[in-house]
Structure 1
Amino acid sequence: MRFLTAGIIELLKRNKVDGDEIVQIVSEFSVFTEDNDPHGEHDFGTFEYLGETCFWKIDAYDNDYFMGSDDPTDLSKTRRVLTVMLAEEW
């Protein structure tokens, strides 16, 4: 599941583009370092888009999206949610 915040939606509307390019940027993100990914989880990143600093993060929920998954490595009981936001929305 993906979620674009109100700030990202407004940025896309203002520039008359859809969200497909943002999803592509996130899927190709590979600039993980000890500083921005100290646990090696690859679940957070930052990028520039249309002059704005943007963040993305992935959260692991239980199957009902009610609370965090008790075992994020078990795909049978974990649902992941990608959120993309403007840095100022953090």
Structure 2
Amino acid sequence: MLITDGILERGLEFARKAVEQVAAFDSFSEDNDPWGEHDCAGLEVDGQRVLWKIDYYDRRMEFLSPNPADPKVTCRVLTIMLSSEY
């Protein structure tokens, strides 16, 4: 998991809330998840727009995974950021 400086600059309590809300997120729809991959979305935390996304890297974390569905060749990284940091 990567939490950006913008999130951390708002304090540990804000960062904790952001992580908890991302972990609990299940409001996927055609609007925010048009491909049905459940690998990115946005939400509000204390009035701030927060985005999260999951990237799929190879096991050495040098390139994109050759097969994101295969955990044997994939390392997933969750990034939580302010929308202004995207």
Note whether the superposition's TM-score is higher than 0.5: yes
Which residue of the partner structure matches residue 43 of structure 1? Answer: 39
CA distance in structure 1 between the partners assigned to 2:54 and 2:39 by the alignment: 5
Q: Note the aligned Cα RMSD (angstroms).
A: 1.3
Shift of 1:21: 2.9
Which residue of the partner structure matches residue 3 of structure 1? Answer: 2
**Can you list the C-alpha shifts for 1:40-83, whole angstroms capped at 9, x where unaligned?**
11001111112211000000110011111010010011000000
1:33 equivalent to 2:55? Answer: no
Q: Unpaired segments of 5 or more residues in structure 1?
A: none
Q: Is the 8 A contact 2:17 2:45 kept in 1?
A: no
**Can you list the C-alpha shifts for 1:12-51, whole angstroms capped at 9, x where unaligned?**
25xxx26333222111101111121111110011111122
Q: Unpaired segments of 5 or more residues in structure 2?
A: none
Identity percentage over the alignment? 42
Equivalent residues, number? 86
After TM superposition, the structure 1 stretch with the greater mean CA deviation from structure 2, 21-30 or 73-82, is: 21-30
CA distance in structure 2 between the partners assigned to 1:82 and 1:41 by the alignment: 14
What SS does the aligned partner of 2:11 have? Answer: helix
Match of 2:62 among 59, 62, 66: 66
Which residue of the partner structure matches residue 12 of structure 1? Answer: 11
